[in-house]
Amino acid sequence: MNYPHPLIAREGWPFLALAVAAAALVSWYSLVWSVPFWVVALFVLQFFRDPGREVPGDAKTVVSPADGRIVAVEKAHDPYLDRETTKVSVFMNVFNVHSNRAPVDGEVKKIWYEAGSFLNAALDKASTENERNALWIRADAGADVVCVQVAGLIARRILCYVKAGARLERGQRYGFIRFGSRVDLYLPPNARIKAALGDKVYAASTILASLE
């Protein structure tokens, strides 16, 4: 779902309003004591920032679904479509933009939600043990791509705004994960991977792979 908003994601509006109101209230009584409250408000502001992005490539292009760092590029079994794939994982810390974007142009065929633990999202076992929400997208290029939002150590809320049958455009906002998390991509084994372990990537604007 594309939605119009300024540079702050709509998911953050209540948090930012509360933080600013608290800081302003304390400032009324003491400017000195209000400093920590304004620091918290600034943190909330940076966490929920959601800048617009230029989306590169064509129908075969796979862009990053999240801001962060590549923590896995490996052959892996896709537990959702029961197939062998290449998995690319992006870890988001609390200072990254947490708006999630569609990696490819295509149709959402199915969605799986699974409750789970809240392990450190940088760990490999977070992909199978943490709370997660998976989208199976049939790309316009003909390939099946599975994009999985994974909760982290302090991430307690996965938000997904699309349903099966929805049409997604590459780089389109479709969800959000609050306070540190991970996104896993399961790509066909013949996809040409352009990301490398340790790369810093940006949602919608960094190319991770090309579909054959």
Q: Dump pLDDT digits (tens) for 144-185.
A: 999 999 986 655 578 899 999 999 999 999 998 876 688 999
Question: What are 207's two structure tokens?
Answer: 């190319």
The torsion angle over the Cα atoms of residues 195, 197, 200 and 206, rounded to 10 degrees, is 10
Q: Is the pLDDT of residue 125 over 90?
A: no
The confidence score (pLDDT) of residue 148 equals: 96
Q: Are 145 and 104 in contact (CB under 8 A)?
A: yes
Question: Do the domain assignments include residue 55?
Answer: no
Which of 21-30, 42-51, 121-130, 161-170 is predicted least confidently? 121-130
Q: Is the pLDDT of residue 95 over 70?
A: yes
pLDDT category at 1 given cuts 50, 70, 90 is: very low
Are 107 and 186 within one domain? yes
Question: Do the domain assignments include residue 206?
Answer: yes
Distance from the first to the final alpha carbon of the chain = 27
Number of domains in the chain: 2
- Please state whether beta strands 99-101 and 61-63 pair in parallel, antiparallel, or not at all (unpaired): unpaired
The stretch 107-117 carries a mean pLDDT of: 89
Question: Do the domain assignments include residue 54?
Answer: no
The stretch 117-124 carries a mean pLDDT of: 60
Question: Do the domain assignments include residue 85?
Answer: yes
Question: What are 69's two structure tokens?
Answer: 């760092």
Are 110 and 197 within one domain? yes
Are 15 and 77 within one domain? no
Cβ neighbors of 132 (< 8 A, separation 6 or more) are: 113, 114, 116, 148, 149, 150, 151, 158
Mean pLDDT of the chain: 87
Residue predicted with more confidence, 64 or 123: 64
- The domain of 37 spans 10-47
Instruction: Look up residue 195 and give its amino acid.
Output: A
Give the closest residue to 1 by CA, choosing from 121, 97, 117, 135. Answer: 135
Q: Is the pLDDT of residue 3 over 70?
A: no
Question: Do the domain assignments include residue 176?
Answer: yes
Which segments of 104-143 are extended strands (E)? 106-114, 132-139
Q: Provide the phi-psi class of 185: left if phi over 0, else alpha when psi is between -120 and 50, else beta.
A: beta
CA atoms within 13 A on the CB side of 168: 34
The catalytic residues are 181
Are 120 and 161 within one domain? yes
Are 39 and 68 within one domain? no
Are 96 and 32 within one domain? no
- Please state whether beta strands 99-101 and 167-168 pair in parallel, antiparallel, or not at all (unpaired): unpaired
Question: Do the domain assignments include residue 2?
Answer: no
Question: Do the domain assignments include residue 17?
Answer: yes
The confidence score (pLDDT) of residue 78 equals: 97
Are 96 and 159 within one domain? yes
Which DSSP state fits 55?
Answer: P
Give the predicted TM-score (pTM) of the model. 0.83
